[in-house]
Amino acid sequence: MEVAATPPRRPRSVHVSAEMECADSSMAVEPEPMSPTGRILEEMGVCIVVLMGLGTPVNLPVFRAGIETELVTRFPRFRSVQVMDGSKDGKPGWVQTKVNVDDHIVVPVLDPAAVVFDPEKTVEDYVASLSTLPMDRRRPLWEFHFLDFPTSEATSTAVLRLHHSIGDAMSIMTLFMASSCSTADPARLPAMPPPPKRTGAIYQPQPRPALSSLGDYLAWAWSYFVLVWHTLVDIILLAATVLFLSDPRTLLTRGDNGESHRRKRFVHRSISLDDVKLIKTTMNCTLNDVLVGVTSAALSRYYFRKSGHTNTKSICLRSFVPVNIRPISSRQTYVTKVETGNRLSSLICPLHIALHNDPLDYVRKANRSMHRKKSSLEVMFTQVVGELLVKCFGVKIGAFIFHRLGTHTTIALSNVIGPAERITLCGHPIVFMATSIYGQPQALTMHYLNYGSTIKVIMAVDDAQFPDCHQILDDFAESVKLMKDAAVLSNLTIST
């Protein structure tokens, strides 16, 4: 049953001048420059969608006041519009403007019968409809949608839609943590996630050892030789991907070459963080390794069941993986500063579609692949070259190249660290959070979001290509269960 009403189509407006959008005559009209990554995302039309399950019915006046005093005040992008003129070099930028919060709040009128019959599908259909609607560029590019009816997971639902040029998932999540309080103790801010082991670039140079032996010196020198070799290989493969190298056509690959922005459906499922940590400890790897392995296992189950292929030879697809390039995670400093903008680079990682007798083999392969990527400067190369292309040849060239990377790979894969405990945002306890994007070329996008004791598996899928997308979520849950059972059995075998 489809949603009977969707948000009204607002007119797509052109970029306006800084003078028109300045909040008052005393405010400087020189825009703040937009980052090269932000310009590429703006050109591609990529938007972020954040679903938040609320533990209480929507109290609109309270939530509105929270948006105004917390989000708009703390985050300059929430009170800024994009402009094309007014800057000295004529490049796009941000200029602050007056914000009428009511212009950014949508309470749709939905079919009561659809809400009663299947509230989960009603929410899905409504959020899917947002992926087909343009945003009003005369205002700051964000909006809240409130669906005030219960689902199986929450009492009501709030949906934040914002343009990706405003910021990446890390900056948005940091904003939420800085603007919320702990649900367990409203007098304090929410507990921060544990500090990441990696505080700099994904590649960490090995310190020069004391020259106690020739072997130590040769091992140190060899690590740099491997770094150079892996980087050269990755750069060649990256260039080949832009020019001609694409993944084999499978039922997971987008059929229209990613040219049309078709409707996306957003679905999600919760898995236990403790189960993932158990697998991580058993395999002596990272959480990311486990999640990549689970993705490979789940998509393999779906692919071979759906295709009916009896040849179980491994199919090597590739995933486009955004990487946070902030030198120190802003989660550790959010009390004093909320970072803005997009600080992203990317990797292209292998994703194997195969059937293994041992479920933990998927994690082993993922661990080897990710370890290999950590001994390469591919992330730094992608960032530097991407910024140079935008500065020297314009944003259309940069967007074209990133679009080619998307159309020649099969899946986009991202992991976001959320609050370590339940939070209350704008006066409403948040039961769950699910973050995703639309506007990217791939037909299938996977996001993982840690929140409290759970991990949300979130998929953004081409609505026409994956009508059975909930079966993929079932495969994720089953893959985690099989891996957990295998890890427990492995631990018992070792202990005996």
Residues assigned a catalytic role: 164
**How many residues are present in the chain?**
496
Residue with tokens 């006046």: 61
Contacts with 297 (C-beta within 8 Å, 6 or more apart), sequence order: 356, 359, 362, 475, 479, 482, 483
User: Torsions phi, psi of 9, nearest 5?
Assistant: -75, 120
**Which of 410, 197, 194 has its CA nearest to residue 321?**
410
Q: Is 125 within 8 Å of 266 (Cβ atoms)?
A: no
Q: What is the CA radius of gyration of the chain?
A: 23
Q: What token pair was written down for 458?
A: 């979130």
As a whole number of angstroms, the distance between CA 308 and CA 302 comes to: 10
Query: Per residue in 12-39, is it b (16+ CB within 10 Å) or e — as a string?
Result: eeeebebeebbeeeeeebebbbbbbbbb
Q: Distance between CA 40 and CA 38 in Å, rounded?
A: 5
Query: HSE (CB half, 13 Å, CA atoms) of 276?
Result: 24
What is the rounded CA–CA span in Å between residue 70 and residue 393?
A: 39
The helix/strand/coil state of 42 is helix
Would you report the helix, strand and coil content of the chain in percent, each value rounded to 5? 40, 20, 35
Token pair 């300059």 is at which residue?
76
- Pairing mode, if any, of strands 80-85 and 93-96? antiparallel
Answer left, alpha or beta for residue 186, where phi above 0 means left and psi between -120 and 50 means alpha. Answer: alpha
With tokens 């993932």, the residue in question is 276
**Packed helices 273-283 and 360-373: angle between N→C axes, nearest 10 degrees:** 70
Which candidate, 100, 10, 108, places its Cα nearest to that of 64? 100
Nearest CA to 395 among 165, 132, 150?
165
Joined tokens for residue 495: 């202990």
> What letter does residue 141 receive in the DSSP assignment?
S
CB 407 within 8 A of CB 261: no
How far from each other are the two terminal CA atoms of the chain, in whole angstroms? 54
Neighbouring CB atoms inside 10 A of 256's CB total 13
Q: Using alpha carbons, select from 348, 320, 292 the residue that is nearest to residue 411.
A: 320
